Chain A
Amino acid sequence: MELLRFTTAGSVDDGKSTLIGRLLYDSKSIFEDQIEAVKKSSERKGLTHVDLSLLTDGLRSEREQGITIDVAYRYFATPKRKFIIADTPGHIQYTRNMVTGASTANLALVLVDARHGVIEQTCRHSFIASLLKIPHVIVCINKMDLVDFSEEAYNKVVEEYEAFASKLDITDIRYIPISALNGDNVVNRSENMDWYKGSSLLDTLETIHISSDQNHIDARFPVQTVIRPHQDEYHDYRAYAGRVAGGIFRKGDEVTVLPSGLTSKIKSITTFDGDIEEAFSPMSVSINLEDDIDVSRGDMIVKTNNEPEVGQDLNVLLCWMATKPPRPGAKYYLKSTTNEVMAIIKEVTYKININTMEKLDEDTSIKMNDMAMVKMRTTRPLVYDEYRKNRITGSLILIDDTTNETVAAGTIHS
């Protein structure tokens, strides 16, 4: 059974929390004592129905305000798949949380209120999904019960979204009319919408094809740590531990270590359960090389005839996450896979209006939640791929050297 990670994005009033509560409830992933607790809470709040969104809002201050303010991870499984939901807030001031949840997602659920259609938030969330290269988007047109389950209302929203989505970089977009409150088309197909011939949401989530989303072509192995047993029986043993970030490595492969450029061959690929013939992403293994060359954390082992970029000048699309804007000329720690170097932002090429996708050339000030294409320079060479080729080797974060905060997320472009 596979694992599917997806994000849920939508405005506070779009019923996102209710949808998640419904998914968990109808797939029988919610336990009796949790339902009891929620029923009691709903009663105490004076509600006439069981508020499924109470299943997901966790922290004290959220419960007081009645909204979700951070990324919450929810889990459920059906016999077909295990799911991890990164539930993210809709407000623009929590863009950083949305980007976080989206970074490891295979799929994005975008919720739209059938009465209001595509709004600014819809654009923003979809745009972020596109920028972070989430391969699949499911647009859930919710509250169909409030538009009398009308096919026209549904089509109108689909048209609006399609017009806007043509500018996005997402290849797989699907549309499902639902009512999270009543359960129509969430787990079971709706009896109120005969005109809809597609699958229910859960059915789609269970069957959508995701195994070809991984890059199995370009072999990339960022070294995390060196394993040296310091025991007599493993006297000269030296293996490089890490998680395959792309492609396939096989015993006997000719490899190059970057950025040094030294070459060798793979002697063995080891795991606790024995040596294996081949390793692919996202497996965690350790690699033994034939030659005793200098390899350490931060280096990347790749196949000799298929190498990534190595350089110090980068074009990066940054999402600024800190409350304070970047200080001009400031040095940041730049972390990419297991490598860490110092870097500065040399210039802001353009900002992006995150709601309209427009490039803004004149305004080059960066504030929290802004996205901007910048030129960066690093103190030492970085080994990387373009983000559109590989989400792991093409991404980075910036860390403030005084506060230790993660101040920005970035994707690398040509």
Chain B
Amino acid sequence: MSKYYLTHLQELESEAIYVIREVVAQFDRPAILFSGGKDSIVVTHLARKAFYPARIPMPLIHIDTGHNFIETMEFRDNLVDELGIQLIVGSVQTAIDKGRAVEEEGINASRNELQIVSLLDAIEENKIDAAIGGARRDEEKARAKERFFSHRDDFGQWDPKNQRPELWNMFNGHKRMGEHFRVFPISNWTEMDVWNYILQENIPIPSLYFAHEREAVYRDGTWLPNSEFLVLRDGEKIEKKRMRFRTLGDITITGGIESDADTLEKIVEEISATRSTERGNRSDDKRSDTSMEDRKKQGYF
């Protein structure tokens, strides 16, 4: 029996590092899209490995919706300090103030879709030609078709009928002026792979992922955290719960689950036993059957 084989995590890691290195080699002004969520944290960790012992040769871009969890922002700042790299922040509030984006109203209002404008602005202002994100193909139906190197036109838009075939492991990053690429090095990773990798590498992640006490309201099958933006419906009441988050979006749209998992090992155990998908608690995905696809066509992540 050959000893020359890799475990699935080692193979996935090697593939991701390969993709990240390809981006830096093929593009002049690449950047890493950083949300503070576990996927972008893993991508950043992989980028660190890819260029060791040199520093990561590109900045992080964070789109600040103004509705972020505080813990996410703190985590981001600490990480950037530690890595010694540049942080670019795109602000949704600024976009709203400038009239480039319109605030949603109503009880289900969220700034999720408004990120599109800020992201495209940040990319254009900084002349980013390749943005590396932590999206995975198993996350959602519209991402199952996504390439590693996803071409976006000069409006930042994604046309599913027009993506280039990816053969063997060659990535065609040729483009015209003004166009850019979104690159997804962990395309082939599942949620379990990400967690098992975080566990294996002991990667620090925001405290939100671990069980903690928080005020929340039970709505649409999930525990929505209390915040200054929360508007209560009739009959709803805020309760104090021991809970954690499986995915981190804005505080307005991210629902948590009741949980006692306060260590990485317990989180991994809980997830492998769990029966609903990671994004199942995201109200932004529930808006319609083709929610993600529609947002991507407009330029979302």
Contact = CB atoms under 8 A, between A and B. Distances in A.
Interface of A: 1-3, 31-34, 41, 56, 58-60, 63, 70-75, 77, 81-82, 84, 96-97, 99-100, 103-104, 211-212, 214, 216, 224-225, 227-231, 234, 237, 241-243, 248, 270-273, 280, 282-284, 286, 297, 321, 333, 335-338, 391-392, 395-397, 399, 404-406, 409
A81 B64 CA distance: 39
Decide if the interface of chain A is mainly helix, strand, loop or mixed: mixed
A227 B176 contact: no
Contact of A243 (B8, B14, B49, B176): B14
B53 A225 contact: no
Given A70-B163, A75-B190, 12 more contacts: A3-B8, A34-B277, A58-B142, A59-B142, A75-B138, A224-B22, A225-B24, A227-B52, A282-B6, A282-B14, A282-B15, A392-B169
B276 interface: yes
Contacts of B15: 282, 284
Given A59-B142, A224-B21, A333-B174, A406 B167 contact: yes
Interface in B13-52: 13-15, 17-18, 21-22, 24-25, 48-52
A104 B168 contact: yes
Interface string B118-161: 00000000000000000001100110110000000000000010
A60 B290 contact: yes
A406 B54 contact: no
Given A229-B54, A237-B53, A297-B25, A395 B187 contact: no
B55 A409 contact: no
A397 B52 contact: no
A344 to B, nearest CB: 18
A149 to B, nearest CB: 33
A85 to B, nearest CB: 10
Contacts of A231: 53-55
15 contacts: A1-B8, A73-B188, A99-B167, A211-B5, A214-B5, A216-B4, A234-B53, A241-B50, A243-B17, A283-B6, A283-B10, A283-B14, A284-B13, A391-B168, A406-B164
A189 to B, nearest CB: 26
A211 B2 contact: yes
Interface string B165-178: 11111101011100
Interface of B: 1-2, 4-8, 10-15, 17-18, 21-22, 24-25, 48-55, 137-138, 141-142, 144-145, 160, 163-170, 172, 174-176, 187-188, 190, 192-193, 274-277, 280, 289-290, 293
Given A31-B277, A34-B277, A224-B22, A337 B170 contact: yes
A33 B48 CA distance: 36
Nearest to B138: A75
B190 A224 contact: no
A399 B53 CA distance: 34
Contacts of A272: 48-49, 52
A246 B290 CA distance: 42
A104 B188 CA distance: 12
Contacts of B2: 211-212, 216
Contacts of A77: 8, 190, 192
Given A75-B138, A225-B25, A297-B25, A280 B4 contact: yes
Contacts of A212: 2
B276 A33 contact: yes
A284 B25 contact: no
Nearest to B191: A75
